[in-house]
């Protein structure tokens, strides 16, 4: 049975790992053993933080809406309840954008539900 050499596969795998950890500090960017763990942890953190980003972004929308609605002497929860009661189906992302960039339009929305 002939001998099988796998040097090219090892080199390709190593270079792919080292490409992914390019820019890391110290041995984490050039030593394979450290680079593997750094790559694994970086992947886990990026997976987790993609979900956290959604959470914090929604929180920011709520803060923007609340800041604008307080100018009209109304609370955030009362405003959202009134929107639902009146059948206005604008989501928080759109409401936050309107509150930030078009306050006069947001005021008309508030008047329609108040």
pLDDT per residue over 49-82, tens digit each?
999 999 999 999 999 999 999 999 999 999 999 9
Q: Answer yes or no: pTM beyond 0.75.
A: no
Residue-wise burial string across 4-41, b where 16 or more C-beta atoms lie within 10 A, e elsewhere: eeeeeeeeeeeeeebebbeebeeebeeeeeebbebbee
Which residues, 6+ apart, have CB-to-CB distance to 79 below 8 Å? 65, 69, 110, 113
Confidence category of residue 27, pLDDT binned at 50, 70, 90 = very high
Residue-wise burial string across 77-114, b where 16 or more C-beta atoms lie within 10 A, e elsewhere: eebbebbeeeeeeeebeebbebbeeeeeebeebbeebe
Query: Over 90: is that where the pLDDT of 5 sits?
Result: no
Q: Which residue has the tokens 């959604």?
A: 54
Q: What is the pLDDT of residue 62?
A: 97
Residue 71 φ then ψ, to 5°: -65, -20
Domains (range + CATH), the chain: 8-113 (1.10.1900.20)
Confidence category of residue 4, pLDDT binned at 50, 70, 90 = confident
Q: What is the pLDDT of residue 6?
A: 79
Confidence category of residue 26, pLDDT binned at 50, 70, 90 = very high
């Amino acid at each position: 049975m002939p001998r099988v050499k796998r040097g090219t596969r090892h080199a390709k795998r190593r270079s792919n790992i080292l490409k992914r950890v390019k820019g890391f500090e110290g041995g984490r960017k050039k030593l394979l053993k450290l680079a593997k763990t750094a790559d694994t942890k970086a992947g886990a953190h990026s997976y987790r933080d993609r979900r956290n980003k959604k959470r914090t972004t929604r929180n920011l929308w709520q803060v923007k809406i609340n800041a604008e609605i307080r100018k009209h002497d109304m609370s955030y929860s009362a405003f959202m309840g009134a929107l639902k009661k009146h059948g206005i189906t604008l989501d928080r992302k759109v409401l936050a954008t309107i509150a930030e960039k078009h306050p006069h339009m947001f005021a008309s929305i508030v008047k329609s539900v108040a």
